[in-house]
Amino acid sequence: MALKVYVIAALVAVAVADTIPYTPPRPSYIAPAPAGPAQYEFDWTVNDANYGHNEARSGYDTQGSYYVQLPDGRLQRVTYTVNGDSGFLAQVEYEGEAQYPAYQPAPSYRPTPGYA
């Protein structure tokens, strides 16, 4: 008898649930879009490794530059602009002269001492 009650209750629950339309909840991580064009400015540098980046944006106009110390001793500086749909326009410059010191490997083993 109890089994019949459970089966009937399950069928009623399925019938009722089928008539209620499902609407997924709105995700909580979606924030409303900001009103107006994007505007920001940032700048950071690392003096020990000699590299950094700065950028400023006002609406669809973006300007910035970054630089990095290359392994050959030169400083590479990239200055870029983006104006609307014109694309990314970059100018690359190098400061200094490339240095390639001669490689002299250290001995990887030492002979064992002779015993008399």
What is the arithmetic mean of pLDDT over 31-56? 87
The structure's pTM equals 0.58
Q: How far is CA 90 from CA 35, 61, 77, 81, 86, in A?
A: 30, 14, 10, 7, 12
What is the pLDDT confidence band of residue 17, given thresholds at 50, 70 and 90?
low
What pLDDT score does 60 carry?
87
What is the arithmetic mean of pLDDT over 85-114? 86
Please write the tens of the pLDDT for every residue from 76-91.
Answer: 999 999 998 888 999 9
User: SS3 of 6, please?
Assistant: helix
